């Protein structure tokens, strides 16, 4: 069983996003970038399956300019067998529909049976790509998973999904796509020897233009503005009585 | 262009999310229909009582009680003929299904709409809500989810006609096994007027009962930070934040929560924020209207013992 793990390079999640007012875009020019944290969890799950003997090969895929190779090297250093880099000439505004179409192409080419990916990327917070991909290639779909068990004959998986009302368990026949939630596992760190080793692992580059996929934007970003948390004029209190009195006066209890 | 609302049911009740979706739809279209996938034909009646709905389209099948996304997305895509908008409230229900519908319709959906600027221009959050983007869609059909905290929840008082769609069930490659629901008599987190939320500072599942006691005293819902959920103090459906639930209650009382940006993203629009924490430098404190800098256990014991 081949596993594809799409990974995305995003602004480091512990860095504050800043808007460039001239370009009306989030300024990433000198920003610290990292692999989307949900993608790290997806990589970890794929590696666990490989180590247990359930997967034949793990393949990380990412799309972007040359800098995206860093993120694929990170996946390789974590332990993924090989990487596919879909190269774009410039910073394209690729949307989940485009990304899903590109990934669909790669999955068909690789004849992969399982796709493990993050439930959302922490930059655009769309939470769409896995679902859209499943629709395009008609794979069964398990979103927001916190538990993943491959059945003994490797024809299906049982997944637990974190949903608004609790935990839902479903059986998905392969081929399937799962999108992972935070509590599925603890991703490993790449060790220094593995970072060195990753440099010699296979990384195939495919020009996006060679795939013949329409990437015309469906959504245009008209403007962006920072909307960070606003500091409030905090009043110090020091007793339960004081708190209840204040809340009463504010009319919230 | 007419709009179709994908209705989310909690048992036989229409979710608050769906009511927000109706309000959003009224800003876009004069003709609003509702689509219900259910195992129980009588659920059409509660939907037909929603104000503002023209026709309720209902698909009834035993398998739709816990519908597989492969089936639901196909049925919804087929029902979209003639509609310009497909709108649902943001939730794990809609986020599971709508993007797949979008792919089937070759449309780029728009997630978590917070404001409608025009018939194709919307405001939505990026980067955990630290950036708000105004986006314009060029798709002929617009598929979107809307934040339930950003739109009024439309009420009842309507008398829509009910139209049953008879449809053969598409094939599915997955099956429902079980649902482990958190049972609580307390108000529902996303619609509660008051929320008492606990973080890593509570230290244990046992200590989290102090949060529950305070919530009961205030007739509040319970919330939690990711750290508290990761540590197993409480189940996932209580998580507030970027990847959990987004809330905007009248009162948000945060106990032992330091305030990672991912958590602040889920509660920053609360009307009054109270922070109980012994760390004066915690980011959460800067967001607070009221701060009680104290050992949180001392505070919880005093609050729980206080005679209102």
Q: How far apart are CA A124 and CA A26, in angstroms?
A: 11
Is pLDDT above 80 for A48? yes
**How high is the pLDDT of residue B308?**
79
| Averaged pLDDT, B72-86 | 97
**How high is the pLDDT of residue A210?**
97
Is pLDDT above 90 for A229? no
Phi-psi region of B232 (alpha: psi -120 to 50; beta: other; left: phi over 0): left
Report residue B301's pLDDT band, with 50, 70 and 90 as the boundaries. very high
Q: What pLDDT, in 10s, does the model give residues B21-50? A: 999 999 999 999 999 999 999 999 999 999
**Where do you find CATH 3.40.50.1220 in chain B?**
189-305
Contact present, B123 and B110 (Cβ < 8 Å): no
Report residue A153's pLDDT band, with 50, 70 and 90 as the boundaries. confident
Is pLDDT above 90 for B243? no
Q: What pLDDT, in 10s, does the model give residues A9-24? A: 999 998 889 999 998 8
**Where do you find CATH 3.40.50.620 in chain B?**
3-164
Report residue B182's pLDDT band, with 50, 70 and 90 as the boundaries. confident
Is pLDDT above 80 for A228? no
* Complete edge-to-edge strand list for the sheet that includes strand B221-224: A235-237, B290-293, B272-277, B251-255, B194-198, B221-224
Helices vs strands, H then E, count in chain A: 6, 15
Average pLDDT taken over every residue of chain A: 96
* Interface residue A51 vs chain B (CB under 8 A): no
Q: Where are the domains of chain A?
A: 2-250
> Using the beta-carbon criterion (under 8 Å), do A167 and B102 form an inter-chain contact?
no
Report residue A199's pLDDT band, with 50, 70 and 90 as the boundaries. very high
> Using the beta-carbon criterion (under 8 Å), do A122 and B128 form an inter-chain contact?
yes
Q: What pLDDT, in 10s, does the model give residues B43-65? A: 999 999 999 999 999 999 999 99
Q: How many CA atoms lie within 13 A of B209 on its CB side?
A: 3
* Interface residue A120 vs chain B (CB under 8 A): yes
| Averaged pLDDT, A83-104 | 94
Residue of A95, A149, A219, A223 for testing the chain B interface, max B β-carbons within 10 Å: A219
Task: Determine the 3-state secondary structure of A85 from DSSP.
Answer: strand
For every residue of chain B, DSSP letters joined together read --EEEE--EETTEEPHHHHHHHHHHHTT-S-EEEEEEES-TTHHHHHHTBTT-SEEEEEE-GGGGG--HHHHHHHHHHHTTT-SEEEEESSHHHHHHHHHHHHHHT---EEEE-EEEETTEEEEEEGGGTEEEEEEE--SSEEEEE-TTTS----B----EEEEPP-PPPP-SEEEEEEEEPP-SSPPGGG-SEEEEE-GGG-STTTTHHHHHHHHHTT-EEEE-HHHHHTTSS-GGGBBSTTSB----SEEEEES----HHHHHHHTT-SEEEEEES-TT-HHHHT-SEEEES-HHHHHHHHHH---
Report residue A91's pLDDT band, with 50, 70 and 90 as the boundaries. confident
**How high is the pLDDT of residue B184?**
84
Q: What pLDDT, in 10s, does the model give residues B193-240? A: 999 999 999 999 999 999 999 999 999 999 999 999 999 999 999 999
Is pLDDT above 90 for A231? no
Name the architecture of domain B189-305: 3-Layer(aba) Sandwich (3.40)
| Averaged pLDDT, A159-166 | 95
Is pLDDT above 90 for B158? yes
Is pLDDT above 90 for B176? yes
Minimum distance, in Å, between the CA of residue B239 and any CA atom of chain A = 9
Residue in chain A lying closest to B295 (CA): A238
Minimum distance, in Å, between the CA of residue A153 and any CA atom of chain B = 16
**How high is the pLDDT of residue A230?**
80
Average pLDDT taken over every residue of chain B: 95
| Averaged pLDDT, B164-189 | 92
**Which residues 145-204 in chain B show a CB within 8 A of chain A?**
172-182, 190, 193-194
Q: What pLDDT, in 10s, does the model give residues B96-131? A: 999 999 999 999 999 999 999 999 999 999 999 999
| Averaged pLDDT, A100-126 | 97
From chain A, the residues in CB contact with B177 under 8 A are 158, 169-171
> Using the beta-carbon criterion (under 8 Å), do B138 and A219 form an inter-chain contact?
yes
ipTM of this predicted structure: 0.95
Is pLDDT above 80 for B246? yes
Cβ-based neighbours of A142, under 8 Å, separated by 6 or more: A157, A159, A161, A170, A172, A176, A177, A178, A179, B174
The number of C-beta contacts closer than 8 angstroms across A and B is 260
CATH code for the domain defined by A2-250: 3.40.50.620
Name the architecture of domain B3-164: 3-Layer(aba) Sandwich (3.40)
From chain A, the residues in CB contact with B133 under 8 A are 221-224
**How high is the pLDDT of residue A93?**
83
| Averaged pLDDT, B178-202 | 93
**Which residues 2-41 in chain B show a CB within 8 A of chain A?**
10
> Using the beta-carbon criterion (under 8 Å), do B290 and A235 form an inter-chain contact?
yes
Report residue B256's pLDDT band, with 50, 70 and 90 as the boundaries. very high
From chain A, the residues in CB contact with B272 under 8 A are 247, 250, 252
């Amino acid at each position: 069983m081949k596993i594809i793990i799409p990974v995305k390079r995003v602004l480091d999640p512990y860095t504050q996003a800043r808007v460039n007012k001239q370009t009306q875009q989030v300024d990433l020019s000198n920003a610290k970038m990292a692999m989307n944290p949900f993608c790290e969890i997806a990589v970890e799950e794929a590696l666990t399956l490989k180590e247990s003997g359930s997967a034949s090969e793990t393949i990380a895929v990412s799309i972007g300019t040359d800098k995206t190779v860093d993120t694929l090297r990170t996946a390789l250093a974590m332990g993924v067998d090989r990487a596919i880099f879909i190269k774009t000439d410039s910073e394209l505004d690729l949307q989940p529909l485009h990304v899903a179409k590109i990934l669909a192409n790669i999955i068909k080419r690789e004849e992969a049976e399982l796709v493990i990916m993050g439930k959302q990327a922490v930059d655009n917070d769309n939470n769409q790509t896995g679902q859209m991909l499943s629709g395009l290639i008609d794979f069964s779909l398990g979103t927001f998973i916190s538990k993943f068990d491959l059945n003994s004959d490797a024809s299906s998986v049982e997944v637990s999904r974190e949903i608004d009302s609790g935990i839902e368990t479903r059986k998905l026949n392969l081929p399937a796509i799962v999108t992972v939630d935070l509590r599925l596992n603890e991703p490993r760190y790449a060790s220094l020897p593995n970072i060195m080793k990753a440099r010699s692992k296979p990384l195939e580059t495919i020009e996006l233009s060679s795939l013949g996929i329409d990437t015309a934007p469906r959504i245009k970003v008209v403007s962006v503005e920072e909307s960070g948390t606003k500091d409030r004029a905090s009043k110090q209190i020091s007793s339960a009585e004081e708190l209840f009195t204040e809340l009463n006066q504010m009319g919230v209890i | 262009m007419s709009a179709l609302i994908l209705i989310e049911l909690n048992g036989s009740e229409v979710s608050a999310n769906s009511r927000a979706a109706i309000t959003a739809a009224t800003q876009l279209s004069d003709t609003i229909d509702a689509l219900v996938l259910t195992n129980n034909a009588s659920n059409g009646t509660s939907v037909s009582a929603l104000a503002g709905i023209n026709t309720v389209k209902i698909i009834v099948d035993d398998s739709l009680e816990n519908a597989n996304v492969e089936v639901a997305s196909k049925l919804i895509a087929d029902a979209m003929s003639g509609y310009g908008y497909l709108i649902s409230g943001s939730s794990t229900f809609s986020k599971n299904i709508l993007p797949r519908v979008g792919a089937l319709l070759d449309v780029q959906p728009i997630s978590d709409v917070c404001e409608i600027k025009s018939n194709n221009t919307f405001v939505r959050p990026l980067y955990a809500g630290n950036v708000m983007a105004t986006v314009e869609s060029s798709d002929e059909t617009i598929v979107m989810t809307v934040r339930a905290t950003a739109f009024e929840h439309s009420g009842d008082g309507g008398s829509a006609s009910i139209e049953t769609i008879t449809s053969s069930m598409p094939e599915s490659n997955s099956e429902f096994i079980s649902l482990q629901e958190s049972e609580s008599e307390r108000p529902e987190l996303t619609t509660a007027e008051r929320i008492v939320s606990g973080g890593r500072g509570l230290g244990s599942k046992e200590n989290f009962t102090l949060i529950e006691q305070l919530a009961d005293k205030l007739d509040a819902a319970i919330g939690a930070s990711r750290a508290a959920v990761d540590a197993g103090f409480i189940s996932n459906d209580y998580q507030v934040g970027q990847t959990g639930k987004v809330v905007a209650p009248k009162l948000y009382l945060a106990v032992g929560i330091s305030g990672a940006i991912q958590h602040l993203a889920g509660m920053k629009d609360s009307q009054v924020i109270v922070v109980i924490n012994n760390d004066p430098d915690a980011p959460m404190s800067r967001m607070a209207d009221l701060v009680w800098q104290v050992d949180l256990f001392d505070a919880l014991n005093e609050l729980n013992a206080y005679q209102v």
